[in-house]
A and B are shown apart, each in its own frame.
Chain A
Amino acid sequence: MTDPSAPMIELEGVGFAYEDAERFTLANLDLRIDAGTVTGIVGASGAGKTTLAKTIAGFIPLNEGGTYRGTARVAGRVLAEGTLSEAAAAVGLVTQNPFNQISGARFTVREELAFGLENRSVPRDEMERRVAEVAARLRLEPLLDRSPYALSGGQMQLVAIASMVVMAPPVLVMDEPTSQLDPAGTRLVYDVLSTLSDGGTTVVIIEHKTELLHEHCDSIAVLAGGLIVQHGAPGAVLADDRLTTWGVGETRVTTAARLARERGLLPVERALPIGVDDAVDAFSALKGAAS
């Protein structure tokens, strides 16, 4: 029986080197993620974030050649010991390139959204209901009768996300899901992720936009040198002085506040704000001190 206090995702000493690679992309990595939380993964380009996403989803080692070690569990199950189909049922993976997430075998967005549900033998009535619900949430209704290949990059990315959200996996791993989206589309996606998380879905999101992670995540993990070098509350992680040395960009609010401090507009002893709310607090405190 699964221990209810156990984390939903647990990686212990996980290492992975791709075939013919000179070094391990992931090296003895440990990571624990609780059920029903939203966790952001950040790191420099080439840090191994996509490899980590595939490992959490079980595609490494089940579908990828290379050297694998350690144990990755999802809901207490070691995915590597099962089949790829079982892993896919436990963890939904949205890959980086929406073009390749599209099945390539469906003629309309509506059919595309239903593709995964058909493969899971979901009854037609339920399938129609779930497709309509997800399309409404991500505002895809005007696109439902269009060809998936007639969409813009952003629209295609929304369809790729919707095609996985509609399958309602208990764990959802998304690899840079908003890279091609405009601010409104990005907001929509994060709203949907928040709703899913409230409903008990565990969400892991690889993202470069640290402002978004600060606003929406319960925790952030930093990947550098194949290891999780920092994992904790967004405020604490994004305030870490070593952030830029790990190749992670600070938020624009922090950058603006740092420049303001260099020009003497903010006291040195005050911690730099990270999000917009922190910045408002900082300005309020300054105004209070001035009056």
Chain B
Amino acid sequence: MTTTTLYLERTSALHRLNPVTKLVALLSIILAVFAVPHWWIPIGIVVVVIVPAAVLGRVGGRLLRLFLILLLPLLVVLFIIQGLFYPDGSTVLWEWGLAQLTTEGLLFALTIGSRLTALVLGSLVFVLTTDPARLMSALTQVGMSPKIAYVISASLQIIPAFQARAQSILLAQQARGLAIVGSPLKRARALLPLLGPLILGMITDVDERSTAMEARAFGATPKPTSLIVVPDPLGERIARWVLFLSAIAVVVLVVVGVIA
């Protein structure tokens, strides 16, 4: 299956889970790591929950590669900036000119960095193990409006739609002498004529697309059926509530000062 998302088709328990359960788990994790002001909570969740989940879902290798490409450079920059230039830092460990490495700066970078790591890695495990078609069906099954589901799905599909159209415009322009060679700057400049027809074409397509959608009865009924039916066992429904209530409980404990 060719999709635009990062989804990896595998056979695993994580893949079989109802996508809504995974989504609720992800949102609960995000809520908890941002509510609790301790860096070791997000790190603990990454080590105890997210990494084992990635291994269980047989997407550990891809997660590691994405971590190295997407997140690691960001974390390095974060530690350099916050570690060396944190404005409220008083415990100086090392200094060179204006740059001061402070304990407070490092702690701040650790807090932000650990939250970011949990957020990004958790989201990546979700995306890597969740078939977007199953996700949309599962969300519709639990009551999301088919129109909102359409908008989300169409957004996920807009990249291949753009690619397909851009490819045909590019070929047509190359056939008429457009040269896409030379330095990156020259190539980028040569691609500028692509933008006009690409964007205008997508806009003018809207009318015909809307006609086609009407012809295919889109919106004809508030309760459409679904070709894909995602199992939603009682155990998962209970687990979702437990996760959700746990996350709320953590937030409440933080607000009332029990967790400080």
Contacts and interface: CB of A to CB of B under 8 A. Distances in A.
Interface string B35-58: 000000000000000000000000
Contact of A84 (B132, B214, B227): B214
Nearest to B164: A149
Contacts of B154: 103-105
B211 A95 contact: yes
B215 A57 contact: yes
Given A88-B220, A111-B133, A122-B225, A164 B160 contact: no
Contact of B225 (A59, A84, A103, A124): A124
Contacts of A106: 133, 153, 157
Nearest to B133: A107
Interface of A: 54, 57, 59, 63, 84-85, 88-89, 92-97, 99-108, 110-111, 114-124, 127-128, 131, 145-147, 149-150, 163-164, 167
B208 interface: yes
B134 to A, nearest CB: 9
Interface residues of B, number: 41
Contacts of B3: 107, 147
Contacts of B221: 119-121
Given A104-B154, A108-B133, A116 B214 contact: no
B1 interface: yes
B253 interface: no
Q: Which of B153, B154, B212, B215 has the most CB of A within 10 A?
A: B215
B213 A146 contact: no
B194 interface: no
Nearest to B1: A145
Contacts of A108: 1, 133
Contact of B220 (A59, A93, A119, A124): A119
Nearest to A108: B1
A163 B219 CA distance: 16
Contacts of B229: 124
Contacts of A102: 212
Contact of A147 (B150, B160, B210, B224): B160
Given A111-B133, A163-B216, A118 B205 contact: no
B224 A121 contact: yes
Given A105-B153, A149-B2, A149-B160, A85 B211 contact: no
B145 interface: no
B161 interface: yes
A128 to B, nearest CB: 7
Interface centre among A97, A108, A127 (most CB of B within 10 A): A108
